[in-house]
Structure 1
Amino acid sequence: MTTKPATKSTAKSRKSTPDAVDMLIEDHEKVKKLFKEFEKLAKKDDTEGKVEVAQKICEELTIHAQIEEEIFYPAAREAINDDDMLNEAEVEHATAKDLIEQISGMSGDDEMYDAKVKVLSEYINHHVEEEEGEMFKKVRKSKLDLDELAVQMMERKEELMGALA
């Protein structure tokens, strides 16, 4: 039995599937939009709306961080051999998780609520800049199979989202 070579259409359809780095960048973009939505609702004093968005932010970040820590970071650690960068990313995750826990346990009309969400936003923006500006570039240059990693990450993400539902 002979194997057919990949056609342009099959190669293109494979290409349209995001790889592991693309998936993480999509998550970053989604959370950035949610933070902007939160800011608009906070300005309107829409407590119920901002709490709903903040909860979504916390869920998205929690799942994202867990996928990175369980799947992406260990693979990246092996592929790029930059423990300092990955250690720093994990410490940043721990701090973000602490803020997420605080926000999740607060009332939306608490005087510190908006401030904590704003600090989380700034913290995440800093973390994202480092990942996208440094780590992801190094990972893309490595021999890591980002397509296979994306499959593992998507399966885990679906599990975690199902557990939240």
Structure 2
Amino acid sequence: MDITDLILDDHHEQRRLFAILEQIDRGDTAALSAIWGRLAAFLELHAQAEEEIFYPALLQVGIAARRAAGVEEETLDAVHDHNEIRDAVAEVARHRVGSEDWYTAVAAANTANSDHMAEEEREGLTDFRRLAKLPRRHQLAVTFAAYEAINYAGVRPVDKDPAGYVRAAEEKSRTAASGSLSVGTLKQNRAST
């Protein structure tokens, strides 16, 4: 198991759910609402899991490999993208399900998410596979899977300041004795949000 594979699996599921929305009759607002509700919750859960687990680890291995500038830029971009996706998801909620405005907002959310996934797949995931050894990627995959399982019902969306996020993640990385998250830490993080 590898965290980069789990993230790619999540990306596939996001693409699949957006594609399902495009294939449902516009008058079937119950089905549209159900699929969109699942997708909206999943987008946020995925972003939070990356921000809690993947991006701090990417920063850590990038700094250790003396590639801090590159991984910092990737992380800044990713957190900025997550904020754009959150904003796009919030815009969908402002419209009546199945209306033209709703479809326009869903398309904008799809575009923001697709752009983010493509960039992350080209850069962050590729760099992490190059910089982190498989045992570390496996340990993070377990943590990532547990985080998503613990928070299966969703998490509260909160925009983050990308620069502040990077500073905090780097500081936490410097002060962490073990450099790993446990399921207990994930439960504590969940309880505090």
Which TM-score applies when normalising by structure 1? 0.82
Name the counterpart of 2:177: none
Name the counterpart of 1:12: none
Name the counterpart of 2:16: 33
Q: Distance in 2 between matches of 1:87 and 1:119?
A: 21
Q: Distance in 1 between matches of 2:5 and 2:98?
A: 36
* Residue 63 of structure 1: how far off its partner (Å): 0.6
Deviation digits for residues 32-68 of structure 1 (CA, Å, limit 9, x no counterpart): 01001001115x4322221211111101101100000
Q: Distance in 1 between matches of 2:153 and 2:13?
A: 19
Q: Distance in 1 between matches of 2:94 and 2:130?
A: 41
Q: Distance in 2 between matches of 1:162 and 1:61?
A: 12
* Residue 162 of structure 1: how far off its partner (Å): 4.7
* Residue 111 of structure 1: how far off its partner (Å): 3.5
Name the counterpart of 1:158: 149
Give 1:86-125 correspondences, 5 Å limit.
86-125=75-114
Name the counterpart of 1:130: 119
Is contact 1:58–1:104 with CA below 8 Å preserved after alignment?
A: no
Structure 1 residue identity aligned to 2:114: N
Give 1:1-12 correspondences, 5 Å limit.
none
Is contact 2:45–2:154 with CA below 8 Å preserved after alignment?
A: no
Is contact 2:44–2:154 with CA below 8 Å preserved after alignment?
A: no
* Residue 135 of structure 1: how far off its partner (Å): 1.1
Q: Distance in 1 between matches of 2:153 and 2:42?
A: 13
Which structure 2 segments of 5+ residues have no match?
63-67, 156-193
Q: Would the alpha carbon gap of residues 52 and 64 (structure 1) be closer, same or farther in structure 2, given more than 3 Å must change?
A: same
Q: Distance in 1 between matches of 2:21 and 2:144?
A: 27
Q: Distance in 2 between matches of 1:140 and 1:27?
A: 17
Is contact 1:41–1:50 with CA below 8 Å preserved after alignment?
A: yes
Q: Distance in 1 between matches of 2:19 and 2:88?
A: 18
Q: Would the alpha carbon gap of residues 151 and 52 (structure 1) be closer, same or farther in structure 2, given more than 3 Å must change?
A: same
Is contact 2:88–2:105 with CA below 8 Å preserved after alignment?
A: yes
Is contact 2:53–2:143 with CA below 8 Å preserved after alignment?
A: yes
Percent identity reads 24
* Residue 79 of structure 1: how far off its partner (Å): 1.2
Q: Distance in 2 between matches of 1:41 and 1:95?
A: 25
* Residue 101 of structure 1: how far off its partner (Å): 2.1
Q: Larger Cα Rg: Structure 1 or Structure 2?
A: 1
Is contact 1:50–1:108 with CA below 8 Å preserved after alignment?
A: yes
Q: Distance in 2 between matches of 1:155 and 1:104?
A: 28
Q: Would the alpha carbon gap of residues 60 and 162 (structure 1) be closer, same or farther in structure 2, given more than 3 Å must change?
A: closer
* Residue 105 of structure 1: how far off its partner (Å): 4.7
Which structure 1 segments of 5+ residues have no match?
1-17
Aligned CA RMSD, in angstroms, stands at: 1.7
